[in-house]
Structure formats: C-alpha cells, structure tokens
C-alpha cells in the first residue's frame, strides 16, 4: 500500500497532505526517513512514524458537521501561512477582540509585538467536545467565508470529497456588489481562467436582489482555493458574502454559527455512496 493511502487510512491526514509530509521529510518507515511519495508500506511488518510519533491504525471513524463562522481559519493550528486563502491582515490577528493595531495609541511597542504573535481563531477553538478526537477538516473555507465544513479521521473519504476528479457538487449562497448581466452568468457557467488558473464549469443563478446587491446560488464541482471569489473576479464582480450550504445533498441546517454535531448513520452512508466507498 502506498504511504499516502496508508496515512489516510490511519486517520493522520488526507492523501494530498500525506504527500506533503513525505516530501518534507516528516515521515519515516522503520525509523528510516522516506521522501518519495510513491513509497510502499508493508502493513504487516512495517512501522510508520510521523514527526517521530508512531502511526496507529484507526479502528473507528468519526464524522462531524461544523458551521464555520466568518473570521475563523480552516486549520487545526494557526500556522500564519496563508492557508486561510489570503495574506494575514492586522484585523485577522484576533477576531474575538477586533484589535486595530494602527489606531492603538495606548499600546506600547512591546505590547504590540505580543499582540501580533497572538494566533487567529481556528476551527478547533469551536470544537471543545471533539478535542480528544483526531479530526481533520475536509477541504477549506477561507477566512472571510462561512458555512458547512466537515471534519473526519476518514482519510479516504476526505480524499474523495476534495479531489477535483470526483466532481462532488458543493452549493453556495453568494452575494455580490451591484447587478450582474445574463451574459456574465453564461461566462461563469462555461468556466473561466484567472491568473493562469482554469476554473471549471459551474451552475449559477440569481435568487434575489437586496438593496443594491445581488444574491445568487452557485454550485461548483472542483473546490479550488478561493474558487468562487476568483470566478466572479473574472467578470469584474466583488463577492461580499459567501456561505457553503451543501455538499452533494448533505445540507447545513439546524446549527448556529460555530456549532457542530456528529453526522447520522444515514448521512455517513450517503457520503460513502457519493464517494463510491464501501462501508
């Protein structure tokens, strides 16, 4: 079995993330560091370590639905490495305190330095009841977006749900500044290219007008980094609100912002079927 699949099945991370771990020299087999992503593991005789810790096979999978609020980083630890989808801004440093460093006249230089080191809120800051479980986000929602986020230790399901080749539909409520022409919607439906990155076909329709803004439903099938914001950038529209409300037919409902719950057996079976996995 390939090392990335083995780590995914052990609930360490997704296959894609496992490849990153291998390339970074964080994985060893029988105490020997491996750097080739195609390395095979003998499940019976090999012992695998990540960051020096022995990897143990998962005997039980957990699946959690989380309503990610805006102003929260989709990572387990704030590594301050742009994984929120854009560069860190001063206003991101601590959303709960809303510290504005530029306008702070009372803070001393040393106090400013301490504030800047303060981590941003992550998804785990909201999941007190799940901190004893080794759960990982399924894909990402960027810092300025909110809505449905799944967390699990099922690496195979994570891989299937996030890989573009799976074409799992993800539904969003989007609000943009101003109006939008049908010709622009036609462009988005066919797929656009922004800064050399191609974004595939999507389904998009206008669902209402609020003041001078337009509300739309958008369904995408890839889930690339900041995909929807960049799609609308291609037709010169600014997204001011973005909320994921469904993955396939699994919908966000009954949760307040920052709330979480275990998926039901029916929901888990649905996702497994959607991903083509045997359960």
Q: How confident is the model at residue 10 (pLDDT cuts 50, 70, 90)?
A: confident
The 3-state secondary structure of the chain reads CEHHHHHHHCCCCCHHHHHHHHHCCCEEECCEECCCCCCECCCCCCCEEECCEECCCCCCCCEEEEEECCCCECCCCCCCCCCCCCCCCHHHCCCCCCCCCCCCCCCCHHHHHHHHCCCCCEHHHHCHHHCCCCCEECCCCCCCCEEEEEEECCHHHHHHHHCHHHCCCEEEEEEEECCCCHHHHHHHHHCEEECCEEECCEEEEEEEEECCEEEEEEEECCCCCCHHHHHHHHCCCCEEEEEEEEECCEECCCCCCCCEEECCHHHHHHHHHHHCCCC
Question: Is the pLDDT reported for residue 34 higher than 50?
Answer: yes
Confidence of residue 106 (pLDDT cuts 50, 70, 90): very low
pLDDT single digits (tens) 217-240: 999 998 888 999 999 999 999 999
Q: Which pLDDT tens digit goes with each residue over 134-173? A: 888 998 899 999 999 999 988 889 889 988 889 999 999 9
Please name the CATH architecture into which domain 63-161+251-275 falls: 2-Layer Sandwich (3.30)
238: which 2 tokens?
Answer: 């600014």
Q: For all residues of the chain together, what is the average pLDDT?
A: 85
Contact 170, 266 (CB under 8 A): no
pLDDT at 88 over 90: no
96: pLDDT strictly greater than 50 = no
244 pLDDT exceeds 50?
yes
Using a pLDDT cut of 90, give the percent of the chain over it.
59
Q: 169-247: what CATH class?
A: alpha beta
Which residues are registered as beta bridge partners of 67? 148
pLDDT at 104 over 90: no
Domain boundary assignment for the chain: 3-54, 63-161+251-275, 169-247
Is residue 116 over pLDDT 80?
Answer: no
Here the tokens at position 61 are: 């999978």
For the whole model, what pTM was predicted?
A: 0.75
Select the CATH number that applies to the domain covering 3-54 from these four: 3.10.180.10, 3.40.1120.10, 3.10.290.10, 3.30.70.1230: 3.10.290.10
When mean pLDDT is compared across 115-129, 182-196, 201-215, 247-261, the lowest value belongs to 115-129
Mean pLDDT of 112-127: 72
| pLDDT for residue 101 is more than 60 | no
Q: What is the pLDDT of residues 70-84, one digit of tens each?
A: 999 988 765 544 443
Per-residue model confidence (pLDDT) at position 89: 46
Q: What is the pLDDT of residue 91?
A: 40
Q: How confident is the model at residue 67 (pLDDT cuts 50, 70, 90)?
A: very high
| pLDDT of 11 over the 80 cut | no
- What is the number of residues in the chain? 279
Fold equal for 3-54 and 63-161+251-275: no
- pLDDT, average across residues 109-135: 73
pLDDT score of 102: 35
How many CA atoms does the CB half-sphere of 106 hold within 13 Å?
A: 2
In terms of Cβ atoms closer than 10 Å to its own Cβ (0-12, 13-18, 19+), residue 181 is: exposed
> Is 17 in contact with 3 (CB distance < 8 Å)?
no
Catalytic residues: 142
């Amino acid at each position: 079995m390939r090392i990335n699949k083995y780590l995914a099945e052990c609930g360490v991370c997704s296959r894609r993330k496992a490849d990153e771990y291998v390339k970074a020299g964080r994985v060893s087999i029988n105490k020997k560091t491996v750097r080739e992503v195609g390395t095979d593991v003998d499940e019976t005789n090999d012992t695998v370590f990540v960051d020096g810790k022995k990897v143990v096979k998962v005997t039980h999978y957990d699946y959690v639905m989380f309503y990610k609020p805006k102003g929260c980083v989709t990572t387990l630890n704030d590594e301050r490495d742009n994984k929120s989808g854009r560069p860190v801004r001063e206003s991101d440093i601590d959303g709960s305190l809303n510290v504005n460093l530029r306008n702070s006249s009372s803070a001393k230089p040393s106090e400013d330095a301490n504030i800047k080191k303060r981590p941003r809120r992550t998804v785990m800051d909201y999941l007190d009841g799940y901190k004893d479980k080794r759960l990982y986000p399924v894909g990402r929602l960027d810092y300025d977006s909110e809505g449905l986020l799944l967390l699990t230790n099922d690496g195979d399901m994570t891989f299937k749900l996030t890989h573009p080749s799976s074409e799992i539909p993800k539904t969003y409520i989007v609000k943009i500044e101003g109006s939008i022409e049908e010709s622009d919607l036609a462009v988005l439906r066919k797929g656009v290219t922004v800064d050399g990155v191609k974004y595939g076909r999507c389904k998009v329709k206008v669902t209402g007008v609020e003041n001078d803004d337009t509300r739309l439903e958008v369904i995408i099938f890839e889930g690339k980094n900041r995909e929807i914001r960049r799609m609308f950038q291609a037709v010169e529209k600014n997204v001011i609100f973005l909320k994921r409300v469904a993955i396939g037919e699994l919908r966000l409902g009954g949760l307040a912002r920052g709330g979480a719950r275990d998926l039901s057996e029916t929901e888990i079976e649905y996702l497994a079927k959607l991903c083509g996995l045997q359960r």
